[in-house]
Amino acid sequence: MKNGGTTTVSQNDVAPGGALSAKIPATVAAGSSPFEVAASPDQPPLASFAVSARPGRRGRRPDLVETGKTADFDAAGSTDPDGEIATSAWAFGDGEDATGGSTQAHAYSKPGAYTALLTLTNDEGCSTELVFTSQTAYCNGGAGATATAEVAVEDGLGASC
């Protein structure tokens, strides 16, 4: 912006969700000839997780979860290219959810096939949705912030460990 012959540039912080707040000072000298300002939007985290069954029936497949036995969900392979993962939201496919760290334990009460879902949010509030602040993209959200895995649950009655 030209202000009495001096070129200045406004400074703002962008908070999670896209809210702008002026920095102090609100404007700074831009130098002799500013041409453009490029803002790189925050990138979403990349979700990945593994599911493993705790030991149950002898000789059974380790990828099968038994009813009443705990399965371990581990998202240690998830990353955020430009920050840190702040929130892991888990949906286990049976109506139960959890929010917390990169690992969770869950027991299924009925046999069947379930789709478990992990959705990550990073330390800048970026996840699956594109956040546009009317001037630029603040968060370049995307589907990579979620991952799914199929969980096979069999009846654990009569199991011997």
Query: Where are the domains positioned within the chain?
Result: 1-37, 50-154
Q: Kindly report the CATH number that applies to the domain delimited by 50-154.
A: 2.60.40.10
- Each residue of 83-141: pLDDT tens digit? 899 999 999 999 999 998 899 999 999 999 999 999 999 999 999 998 887 777 888 88
Of 14 and 6, the structure prediction assigns the larger pLDDT to 14
Of 108 and 158, the structure prediction assigns the larger pLDDT to 108
Which of the given ranges, 16-25, 31-40, 100-109, has the highest pLDDT on average?
A: 100-109
Please indicate, yes or no, whether the overall pTM of this predicted structure exceeds 0.75: no
- Give the Cα separation of 74 and 48 in Å (integer): 8
Between strands 64-66 and 146-154, the pairing is parallel
Q: Is 78 helix (H, G, I), strand (E, B) or coil?
A: coil
Residue 87 CA, distance from chain mean position: 6
pLDDT, mean over the chain: 82
